[in-house]
Structure 1
Amino acid sequence: MRNDPIELSRLSAEVEAKAPVYTELSDRIWGMPELRFAEHRSVEAQIAQLEAEGFTVTRDVAGIPTAFVAESGDGGPVIGFLGEFDALAGLSQEAGVAEPRAEVPGGSGHGCGHNLLGAGAMLAAVTARDALRTQGLPGTVRYYGCPGEEGGSGKTFMAREGVFDGLDAAVTWHPGPLNGVMSVKSLANFQVYFRFRGKASHAAGSPHLGRSALDAVELMNVGVNYLREHVPQDSRVHYAITDSGGVSPNVVQARAEVLYLIRAPRVEQAKALFDRVVECARGAAIMTGTTMTMEVDKACSETLPNTTLEMALHGNLLNIGAPAYDAADRDFAAAIKGTLSEEDVSSSLASFGAEAALGGAALHDGVLPFDGTSIIQHGSTDVGDVSQIVPTVQAWGGCWAVGTPFHTWQAVAQGKSGQAHKGMVQAAKAMAATALDAFRDPELLARAKAELTERRGGRAYECPIPAEVVAPPLRVVR
């Protein structure tokens, strides 16, 4: 049995009543941006609120100091809400200002809206739990505090330790410029350090005695760049030289390091491409007379959309409607949009499969149409690993000006805005309503689970992170 209009109205009112606490929480987390696996203040703020709401909190989940699970309720089904709270390096920006500010040295910012993501998912989880109590329904709500989504794959490390086992469904969302179902096929990836060791020598007096590790890094990069023509079209390979071996050009560099991020539509394709990149590294070491070692930093699987739950979410989004933006929201969004190029806006809309006509609006006043068709987005997320284990549904919340790209100063600047808060609250309503659908309709859950089994093709989940690789907070500094 689904939520009827009266129940949705009641649920929406409950979310609105609690919203001020959670918008204030999102603003606090915006103001203390912390990078992957170092989100200690953000975690403490979330835990304090969840404990005040009567949730029982388990800390240090999977051995990670900033991972936790909060639970409330009794019996089954068990529905999980996924929250994030990490920021991005180099994106310090003043809130509410429609122009870039000088970057704060060593600063960071919420350029992907994770301050909103965690607070919104918490608001949905608490509201769903309260509705269960009010209606006298059995069921358990869990909120997962998931660190290190940005370049850390915190959920993948958690999945490897069985943290998501026992869930019947998972629900989450992501801030963005549009409202709708987030039915995407993201890319699997592997992130790997390649370290080369050579022999130092005077670059002018005795260059023949040296063996340059930096030469090896550069030759590896050349090899990989030639490889790009011969990989599946939707694959992606990126790298950053993280240690160039020093600042003295008259010394042959005895060490160098490069970090690679390798993506492909399916995890087995990403692994095959990773193996080919390794061969480029080995070849570079042979050519330069150096040695090469590598260290897997993290990995994640591709997402498996769940149309069964997505159609339920879409129905709730349509019934709840778009956020009620006011004139101040529209004015600020228009100012932000004025800083974007036409290419920024068109590229953003294309990534959502949205009509170009939306480009004329400063804020999205509707809900994206959805017919059960998923789109490919070439980014990656560790939500993919959760979706491989349990039926998972995601929403987009219209928190930013139409066309706002992710990981930009414009996204940071809107993180405490009125439109951001309104988009978060509407997403929370839709998530809570969809969770209640799942709690009240055993057939919906059964169909969602059957769909996941079909999409997996009979394969059991296998974590792409090797067993010997521990999460970054647990590693010995080299």
Structure 2
Amino acid sequence: MKNAPAIWNHVDANAPRMAALADAVWAVPETCYGEHRSVKLHREALDELGFRVTQGVAGIPTSVIGEAGEGGPVIAILGEFDALPGLSQEDGIAEHRPVEAGGNGHGCGHNLLGAGALLAASAIKDWLAQTGTPGRVRYYGCPAEEGGGAKAFMVKAGLFDDVDIAISWHPESLTDVMGGGSLANTRIDFDFHGRASHAAAAPHLGRSALDAVELMSVGVNYLREHMPSDARVHYAVIDSGGIAPNVVQAFAKVRYSVRAPTLRAMSVLLERVKKVAEGAALMTETRVEPMVISAVSDLVANTPLIEAMQAELARLGPAEFDEADRRFAEEIRATLSDEDKADAYARFGVATPDERPLCDFLPTAGGTKPSILGSTDVADVSWVVPLVQIYGATAAIGTPLHSWQMVAQGKAPAAKKGMAHAAKVMAATAVAALLDPSLIERARADLARRVGEQGYESPIPDGTEPPIAIMAA
């Protein structure tokens, strides 16, 4: 590109290596806290690029940090590389065809997220060295975003205390700077302990833990009528007590995810869910033990950084795709419902959908940027460091996250183009902050205003350790 800013050229120079990293991580999909091969790939890339590397921070073996540069502000670039269970899928085809039945897959595009973040970090590293600008770029390789809350544990361990601003991104089907909030979330296990007995000969002697789990479900379902409409509660039975119906189940476990738009609202709802569990235990004469697995806060936006990133996106323009990219995107879109396609625009606050298969344009949203209707541990970083993120178009418009269609596009040329595009915006935003100290000052002031005097309070109870054994099993 003629007269391209130097930082874009650094992204282009490193893009092939990071595209290969994205493909390598896609090929070894690992879930929450079990990302041993994935973090090894990231560590090898950091070593090759000349970063100063530390692995296993915050007591998490599958975390890694790489730093480059000297003095000046510290710019954090956040990457992820965990996959999702049950989403195994061959790449490059527009039909559901698992590589491994019941296997994992990168249905949220984190193979691209981690590699794209490292692409931005490597470009900033090269720019700092070339220009002699004081400053440090720090790549955070963060595992277990999908339910493990690793960044929340990293924040609690003080790993962001000296960071000036943080930047990240997420693969999507449309391109836009993120600006809304997210849902605070706690994942909590309820272990019910009862008493076994012969279900036919002596049912009166048994106390069924499975009955307690089922009654808790009924109670929480009644609670839904009396909780805020923007809150969410989901559950999964982890252990139903065995496969023998003629044995009264002495133990059962259910995992709940409790969400609300603010940490305070989530905490209030969580206490009500706990009371339902206590009631179920009382009704069944069982004993319940709640245990928080992970917890994340709601996302704090930052206006100065949003405006700075928006300016860099406008200067760069949309991602560019070719006809082969569009043909494959059309094949994927043929597998999607009209609701999927409409929802993609609705989630971005875009009133008039576009029929193009790929986002080679910048959507025009009206008014305030919408919030994320989900939860992320990136939110905890946003409470202690000014943070900004961008959605990068890496998939056919309408592709749902956490779907086989997302996995099928995870190695596509269009995905790599969208990844490099997002990396350019992230790297350019970092350069803007390094060259303009007032941007960092304004970002800090905006964060202080938003969090108020109460500041950050970790949603993770004191003494809670990262649930490595529980989640990686």
What's 1:198 paired with?
Answer: 194
Q: CA deviation at 1:104?
A: 2.2
Q: CA deviation at 1:207?
A: 1.1
**Alpha-carbon distance between aligned partners in 2 of 1:383 and 1:369, rounded to the nearest angstrom:** 25
User: 434, 439, 450: which is aligned to 2:429?
Assistant: 434
What's 2:407 paired with?
Answer: 412
| Residue 35 of structure 2 is aligned to residue 39 of structure 1 | yes
What's 1:374 paired with?
Answer: 369
Listed one character per residue, the Cα deviations across residues 238-261 of structure 1 (whole Å, up to 9, x for unaligned) are 001111111111111111110000
Letter matched to residue 384 of structure 1 = A
Listed one character per residue, the Cα deviations across residues 343-376 of structure 1 (whole Å, up to 9, x for unaligned) are 1111222112123422x11001112346883312
Listed one character per residue, the Cα deviations across residues 40-93 of structure 1 (whole Å, up to 9, x for unaligned) are 111111111111111100111011101121101011211000000000000000
Flag the 1:216–1:261 CA change in 2: closer, same or farther, 3 A: same
What's 2:125 paired with?
Answer: 129
Listed one character per residue, the Cα deviations across residues 259-313 of structure 1 (whole Å, up to 9, x for unaligned) are 0000001111111111000000000000001111111000000000111101111
Do the aligned residues in 2 keep the contact of 1:301 with 1:384 (CA within 8 Å)? Answer: yes
Please say which of residues 251-260 and 362-371 is displaced more in the overlay: 362-371
**Alpha-carbon distance between aligned partners in 1 of 2:358 and 2:471, rounded to the nearest angstrom:** 47
Q: CA deviation at 1:477?
A: 11
User: 310, 317, 322: which is aligned to 2:313?
Assistant: 317
Letter matched to residue 372 of structure 2 = Q
User: 354, 357, 360: which is aligned to 1:362?
Assistant: 357
**Alpha-carbon distance between aligned partners in 2 of 1:7 and 1:198, rounded to the nearest angstrom:** 71
User: 44, 54, 59: which is aligned to 2:55?
Assistant: 59
Q: How does 1:91-130 map to 2 (within 5 A)?
A: 91-102=87-98, 104-130=100-126
Please say which of residues 282-291 and 200-209 is displaced more in the overlay: 200-209
Q: CA deviation at 1:475?
A: 6.8
| Residue 172 of structure 2 is aligned to residue 176 of structure 1 | yes
What's 1:238 paired with?
Answer: 234
Structure 1 spans left out of the alignment, 5+ residues: none
What's 2:385 paired with?
Answer: 390
| Residue 449 of structure 2 is aligned to residue 454 of structure 1 | yes
Listed one character per residue, the Cα deviations across residues 432-461 of structure 1 (whole Å, up to 9, x for unaligned) are 000000001011111110000011022221
**Alpha-carbon distance between aligned partners in 1 of 2:69 and 2:462, rounded to the nearest angstrom:** 33
**Alpha-carbon distance between aligned partners in 2 of 1:138 and 1:8, rounded to the nearest angstrom:** 22
Do the aligned residues in 2 keep the contact of 1:179 with 1:397 (CA within 8 Å)? Answer: yes
Flag the 1:476–1:55 CA change in 2: closer, same or farther, 3 A: closer
**Alpha-carbon distance between aligned partners in 2 of 1:6 and 1:94, rounded to the nearest angstrom:** 38
Do the aligned residues in 1 keep the contact of 2:55 with 2:63 (CA within 8 Å)? Answer: yes
**Alpha-carbon distance between aligned partners in 2 of 1:398 and 1:310, rounded to the nearest angstrom:** 18
Letter matched to residue 42 of structure 1 = S
User: 219, 222, 227: which is aligned to 1:223?
Assistant: 219
Listed one character per residue, the Cα deviations across residues 126-156 of structure 1 (whole Å, up to 9, x for unaligned) are 1112112222210011000101001100100
Q: Structure 2-normalised TM-score? A: 0.97
Q: CA deviation at 1:202?
A: 1.6
Do the aligned residues in 1 keep the contact of 2:33 with 2:471 (CA within 8 Å)? Answer: no
**Alpha-carbon distance between aligned partners in 1 of 2:98 and 2:71, rounded to the nearest angstrom:** 52
**Alpha-carbon distance between aligned partners in 2 of 1:456 and 1:74, rounded to the nearest angstrom:** 30
Q: How many residues align?
A: 473
**Alpha-carbon distance between aligned partners in 2 of 1:295 and 1:250, rounded to the nearest angstrom:** 29
Do the aligned residues in 1 keep the contact of 2:6 with 2:127 (CA within 8 Å)? Answer: no
Flag the 1:457–1:369 CA change in 2: closer, same or farther, 3 A: farther
Q: How does 1:265-304 map to 2 (within 5 A)?
A: 265-304=261-300
**Alpha-carbon distance between aligned partners in 2 of 1:436 and 1:163, rounded to the nearest angstrom:** 22
Please say which of residues 64-73 and 94-103 is displaced more in the overlay: 94-103
User: 310, 328, 331: which is aligned to 1:335?
Assistant: 331
Q: CA deviation at 1:105?
A: 3.3
Do the aligned residues in 2 keep the contact of 1:310 with 1:372 (CA within 8 Å)? Answer: no
**Alpha-carbon distance between aligned partners in 2 of 1:438 and 1:10, rounded to the nearest angstrom:** 15
* Percent of aligned pairs sharing the same letter: 52
**Alpha-carbon distance between aligned partners in 2 of 1:471 and 1:391, rounded to the nearest angstrom:** 24
| Residue 453 of structure 2 is aligned to residue 463 of structure 1 | no
Flag the 1:7–1:50 CA change in 2: closer, same or farther, 3 A: farther
Listed one character per residue, the Cα deviations across residues 13-50 of structure 1 (whole Å, up to 9, x for unaligned) are 22112111110110000000011111111111111111
Listed one character per residue, the Cα deviations across residues 377-435 of structure 1 (whole Å, up to 9, x for unaligned) are 22000000000010000001000000000000000000000110000000000000000
Do the aligned residues in 2 keep the contact of 1:185 with 1:374 (CA within 8 Å)? Answer: no
Q: CA deviation at 1:102?
A: 4.2
| Residue 173 of structure 2 is aligned to residue 166 of structure 1 | no
Do the aligned residues in 2 keep the contact of 1:187 with 1:378 (CA within 8 Å)? Answer: yes
User: 339, 343, 348: which is aligned to 2:344?
Assistant: 348
Flag the 1:295–1:309 CA change in 2: closer, same or farther, 3 A: same
Where 1:88 maps in the other structure, the secondary structure is coil
Letter matched to residue 89 of structure 2 = Q
Letter matched to residue 29 of structure 1 = V
Do the aligned residues in 2 keep the contact of 1:100 with 1:409 (CA within 8 Å)? Answer: yes
What's 1:425 paired with?
Answer: 420
**Alpha-carbon distance between aligned partners in 2 of 1:294 and 1:477, rounded to the nearest angstrom:** 20
| Aligned Cα root-mean-square deviation (Å) | 1.7
Where 1:362 maps in the other structure, the secondary structure is coil
Letter matched to residue 267 of structure 2 = K
Q: CA deviation at 1:474?
A: 6.1
Letter matched to residue 457 of structure 2 = E
Structure 2 spans left out of the alignment, 5+ residues: none
Where 1:186 maps in the other structure, the secondary structure is coil
